[in-house]
């Protein structure tokens, strides 16, 4: 063993910084969270060079007393907790006391701060953990942090950063997450002097969603509001029309703290089962607030991972809440007729994060931002909120009547009163049925619709223990691999629950003696093997009820296929069967059962409306 050396404080600080400061986004997160903990109602964030060269955070919070500034930059100094017992009930976003020490160890920091009761503010400069100066200065109430040349003294760390545009996008994500978790705070975000984000801070989460994601997202979300003796779950979940191909639109908060959790994500995605197609992921912004110490946030230095005391109960509750909420909403996919586009010259857009041209005039150094005046802040909130209310119809319960402009209540397409007004136009391609109702043309996929009807009827029979089996003679013998036999034995109970009667036939062979009563017209072997192969996708954590539901979804192969001509009475029966379902808008695999075209869209296509 080599000689044991006692590390210098400077080396210790740089090593410790690696636990907290990974990139500019890490710095932004820690400083913005401090602003929130300081009671700020308005926070401005500005970056240059992706936040590597320049990052400024300005707030109108409580500020820091001059005699507390130097202490704040020492390791493990914090105003959030006093003892280990306080960790069980941490409610502030920051509490470890490592952020300022870590940031100042690997960058050049300038702090300007003033408390409400002080006549003057203070300016503190510290570079690479070495104090440069502490002086009095005139400044508005609140705190401004300016971080320059991140990792200037640790070039090995700087090498691992990505491009300026990528690092800037990570900072954008941080601001976005904090704006969603704190809609009562006005956030402003600038990149190279250009404003890229502004929220009103009016406390209305749906307005913040509109400001961050736009009209298409904001008008297709459903509110969630759940409470029991242990926790509350609130926020918004997206309808299937705004699903995405990745999990970028999944936002989880625990006690208003953004977290990452594969288990929570999967629980929410299970709640969408039957509403989304495979490889699609939902939009949601959900905050789980615990009323006791059922969650440990002291798991990881970045505080983005948590540990739950009763995780199984939380996951099951989350799945049920989402599934029940989706079943209570009409979700007909609205199709839009695209206008033919004339060829246009390609336009090259400048990236938000791209550096300026070399010969461009460099702007003068940024001045201190204007103080946050309460009257000005209120004007911004009212202006943004008014624009949202005017621009975005969150509730579509009423619609305008073209004859005179009076309003009337819009009745769901599959409500009993609406069905009486349906005008069935006919069938096209022996697959799709066209129905006119309420100035819209609805197109129903007969296979997807019938499949959903069969699935719901099967699930009801399962719930009522009313499933029947149809004996087949002679039995169908199936030869399987040893692995397939093990899979079958794991899920034998689910097969039997839906109506299969299966017994061992020696070795690796099974004998199918009976099939589900509504599956008699299908090939028993093909049906069994398809269900068995799907079992390989199940997880050990899946509940028995969920497995049975998935098995039942595959067993709906008896549904009428496309390219089969149905009679008018048959389609009327199918529509009436859909009317009885909780979620008639998606087949068991998440595909839409129907879409709609508005009269307005068709008129535009035929140039009746310019």
Listed as own residue / partner, the contacts of 89-93 with beta carbons closer than 8 Å and 24 or more positions apart are: 89/293, 90/297, 90/298, 91/255, 92/37, 93/33, 93/34, 93/36, 93/37, 93/256, 93/257, 93/303
pLDDT above 90 (res 11): no
Asked if pLDDT for residue 69 goes beyond 90, the answer is yes
- Whole-angstrom CA distances from 488 to 220, 465, 496, 529, 536 are 41, 22, 11, 10, 10
Residue-wise pLDDT tens digits, 231-252: 899 999 998 888 887 888 899 9
Q: Does 518 score more than 50 pLDDT? A: yes
pLDDT greater at residue 586 or residue 555: 586
**Which pairing describes strands 121-127 and 130-137: parallel, antiparallel, or unpaired?**
antiparallel
Which residue is it, tokens 């509109």?
210
In this structure, what DSSP letter does residue 193 have? T
Q: What is the pLDDT of residues 29-56, one digit of tens each?
A: 999 999 999 999 999 999 999 999 999 9
Say which residue, 388 or 74, is predicted with more confidence: 74
**Cα–chain center distance at 205:** 14
Q: Is the predicted pLDDT of residue 598 greater than 70, yes or no?
A: yes
* Dihedral sign of CA atoms 333, 336, 337, 341 in order: negative
The structure tokens listed for 47 are: 């970056």
Class of the domain covering 214-334: alpha beta
Helix (H) or strand (E) holding 25: helix 24-37
Alpha-carbon distance of 25 to 195, in angstroms, equals 18
503-508: average pLDDT: 85
Inter-residue contact 227 to 289 (CB < 8 Å): no
Reported confidence tier of residue 13, pLDDT bands at 50, 70, 90:
low
pLDDT tens per residue, range 286-317 = 999 988 766 665 544 455 567 777 888 889 99
Residue 35, pLDDT score: 95
**What pLDDT sits at residue 558?**
63
**Per-residue pLDDT at 157 exceeds 70:** yes
Instruction: For the chain, give every residue range classified as CATH 3.30.565.10.
Output: 9-193
- pLDDT tier at 401, thresholds 50, 70, 90: very low
Q: What is the CATH number of domain 9-193?
A: 3.30.565.10
Eight-class DSSP state of 356 = P
Percent above pLDDT 70 for the chain: 73
Average pLDDT over residues 264-268: 90
Indicate the burial class of 270 (C-beta count within 10 angstroms; 0-12, 13-18, 19 or more).
buried
CA proximity to 58, closest of 80, 28, 79, 78: 28
Please state whether the predicted TM-score (pTM) of the whole model is above 0.85: no
Q: b/e map of 530-562 (b: 16 or more CB within 10 Å)?
A: ebbeebeebeeeeeeebbbbbbbbbbbbbbbee
Per-residue confidence (pLDDT) for residue 15, from 0 to 100: 53
Contact 122, 112 (CB under 8 A): yes
CB atoms within 10 A of CB 472: 14
Average confidence (pLDDT) over 593-602? 86
pLDDT at 297: 57
| pLDDT for res 395 | 37
The SS3 of residue 102 is helix
H or E segment and range at residue 121: strand 121-127
Q: Which residue has tokens 């939009």? A: 283
Higher pLDDT pick, 199 / 5: 199
Q: What 3-state class would DSSP assign to 17?
A: helix
pLDDT-based confidence at 542, cuts 50/70/90? Answer: low
Half-sphere exposure of 329 (CA within 13 A, CB side): 21
> What tens digit of pLDDT does each residue of 449-460 get?
888 888 888 777
How far, in Å, CA of 121 to CA of 115, rounded? 7
Residue-level pLDDT at 80: 47
Are 172 and 246 contacting, i.e. CB atoms less than 8 angstroms apart?
no
Top mean pLDDT of 21-25, 210-214, 520-524, 592-596 is at 21-25
* 359: pLDDT strictly greater than 60: no
By the 8 A CB rule, do 180 and 253 touch? Answer: yes
CA Rg, the chain, in Å?
Answer: 30
| pLDDT single digits (tens) 267-276 | 999 888 878 8
Helix then strand then coil, in percent of the chain rounded to 5, is 35, 25, 40
- Please state the length of the chain: 610
Q: Would residue 533 be called left, alpha or beta, if left means φ above 0 and alpha means ψ between -120 and 50 degrees?
A: alpha
The DSSP bridge partners found for residue 58 are 44, 144
What value, to the nearest 5°, has the Cα angle with vertex 419 and ends 415 and 420? 125
Lowest mean pLDDT among 47-61, 68-82, 385-399: 385-399
Which pLDDT score, from 0 to 100, does residue 579 have? 78
pLDDT band at 60; cut points 50, 70, 90: very high
Cis status, amide bond into 49, omega within 30 of 0? no
- pLDDT band, residue 397 (cuts 50/70/90): very low
13-27 mean pLDDT: 73
pLDDT of 375 reads: 59
> 3-state SS string over 37-49?
HCCCCEEEEEEEH
Q: Would the pLDDT of 409 be above 60? A: no
Q: Which residue has the higher pLDDT, 544 or 199?
A: 199
CA 188 to chain centroid? 22
CA 232 to chain centre: 18
Answer yes or no: is pLDDT of 396 > 60. no
pLDDT mean over 83-105: 63
- Interatomic CA distance for residues 99 and 134, integer angstroms: 20
Q: What is the per-residue DSSP string for 501-561?
A: EEEE-STTEEEEEEEEGGGTTS-HHHHHHHHHHHHTT--TT--HHHHHHHHHHHGGGGSPP
| Distant-in-sequence, close-in-space partners of 313: CB < 8 Å, separation ≥ 6 | none
Alpha carbons 253 and 177: distance in angstroms, whole number: 9
Q: For residue 232, what are its two tokens?
A: 């509350």
CATH topology of domain 442-598: Ribosomal Protein S8; Chain: A, domain 1 (3.30.1370)
Residues carrying CATH 3.30.230.10, the chain: 214-334
Q: Other C-beta atoms within 10 Å of 332: how many?
A: 19
pLDDT computed for residue 384 by the predictor: 55
Residue 536 confidence class, pLDDT cut points 50, 70, 90:
confident
Q: What pLDDT score was predicted for residue 393?
A: 38
Residue 504 predicted with pLDDT over 80? yes
Q: Peptide bond preceding 445: is omega within 30 degrees of 0, i.e. cis?
A: no
Between residues 97 and 27, the one the model is more confident about: 27
Does pLDDT of 337 surpass 60?
no
Average pLDDT over residues 249-262: 90
Residues of each domain in the chain carrying CATH 3.30.1370.100: 442-598
């Amino acid at each position: 063993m080599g000689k044991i050396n006692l590390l210098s404080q400077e080396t210790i600080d740089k090593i410790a910084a690696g636990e907290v400061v990974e990139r500019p986004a890490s710095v932004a997160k820690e400083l913005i969270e401090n602003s929130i903990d300081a009671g700020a109602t308005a926070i401005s964030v500005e970056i240059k060079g992706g936040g590597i060269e320049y990052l400024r955070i300005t707030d109108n919070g409580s500020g820091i007393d001059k005699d507390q500034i130097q202490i704040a930059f020492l390791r493990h100094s914090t105003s959030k907790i006093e003892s280990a017992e306080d960790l069980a009930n941490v409610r502030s976003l920051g509490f470890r006391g490592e952020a300022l020490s870590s940031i100042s160890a690997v960058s050049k920091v300038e702090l300007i701060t003033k408390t409400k009761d002080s006549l003057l503010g203070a300016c503190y400069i510290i570079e690479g953990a070495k104090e440069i100066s502490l002086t009095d200065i005139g400044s508005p109430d609140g705190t401004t942090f300016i971080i320059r040349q991140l990792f200037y003294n640790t070039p090995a760390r700087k090498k691992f950063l990505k491009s300026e545009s990528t690092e800037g996008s990570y900072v954008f994500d941080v601001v976005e997450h904090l704006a969603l978790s704190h809609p009562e705070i006005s956030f402003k975000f600038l990149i190279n002097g250009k404003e890229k984000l502004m929220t009103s801070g009016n406390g209305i989460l749906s307005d913040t969603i509109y400001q961050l994601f736009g009209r298409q997202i904001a008008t297709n979300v459903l509110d969630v509001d759940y409470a029991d003796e242990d926790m509350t779950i609130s926020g918004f979940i997206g309808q299937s029309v705004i699903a995405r191909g990745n999990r970028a639109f999944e936002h989880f908060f625990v006690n208003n703290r953004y977290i990452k959790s594969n288990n929570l994500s999967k629980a929410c995605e299970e709640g969408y089962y039957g509403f989304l197609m495979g490889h699609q992921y939902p939009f949601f912004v959900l905050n789980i607030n615990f009323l006791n110490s059922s969650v440990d946030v002291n798991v990881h230095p970045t505080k983005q991972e948590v540990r739950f005391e009763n995780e199984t109960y939380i996951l099951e509750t989350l799945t049920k809440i989402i599934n029940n909420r989706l079943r209570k909403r009409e979700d007909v996919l609205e199709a839009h007729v695209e206008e033919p586009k004339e060829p246009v010259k390609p336009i090259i857009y400048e990236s938000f994060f791209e550096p300026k041209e070399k010969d461009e005039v460099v702007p003068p150094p940024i001045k201190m931002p204007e103080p946050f005046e309460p009257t000005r802040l209120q004007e911004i909130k009212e202006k943004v909120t008014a624009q949202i209310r005017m621009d975005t119809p969150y509730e579509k319960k009423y619609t305008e009547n073209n004859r005179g402009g009076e309003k009337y209540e819009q009745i769901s397409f599959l409500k009993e009163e609406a069905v009486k007004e349906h005008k069935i136009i006919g069938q096209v391609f022996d697959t799709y049925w066209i129905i006119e109702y309420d100035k819209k043309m609805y197109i129903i996929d007969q296979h997807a619709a019938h499949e959903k009807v069969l699935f719901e009827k099967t699930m009801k029979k399962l719930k009522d223990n009313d499933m029947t089996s149809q004996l087949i003679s002679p039995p169908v013998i199936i030869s399987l691999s040893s692995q397939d036999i093990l899979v079958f034995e794991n899920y034998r109970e689910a097969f039997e629950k839906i109506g299969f009667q299966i017994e061992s036939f020696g070795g690796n062979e099974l004998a199918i003696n009976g099939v589900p009563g509504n599956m008699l017209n299908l090939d028993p072997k093909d049906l069994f093997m398809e269900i068995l192969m799907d079992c390989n996708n199940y997880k050990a954590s899946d509940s028995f009820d969920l497995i049975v539901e998935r098995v039942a979804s595959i067993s709906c192969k008896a549904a009428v296929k496309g390219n089969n001509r149905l009679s008018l009475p048959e389609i009327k029966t199918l529509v009436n069967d859909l009317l009885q379902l909780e979620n008639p808008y998606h087949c068991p695999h998440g595909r839409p059962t129907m879409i709609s075209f508005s009269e307005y869209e068709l008129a535009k296509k035929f140039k009746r409306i310019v």
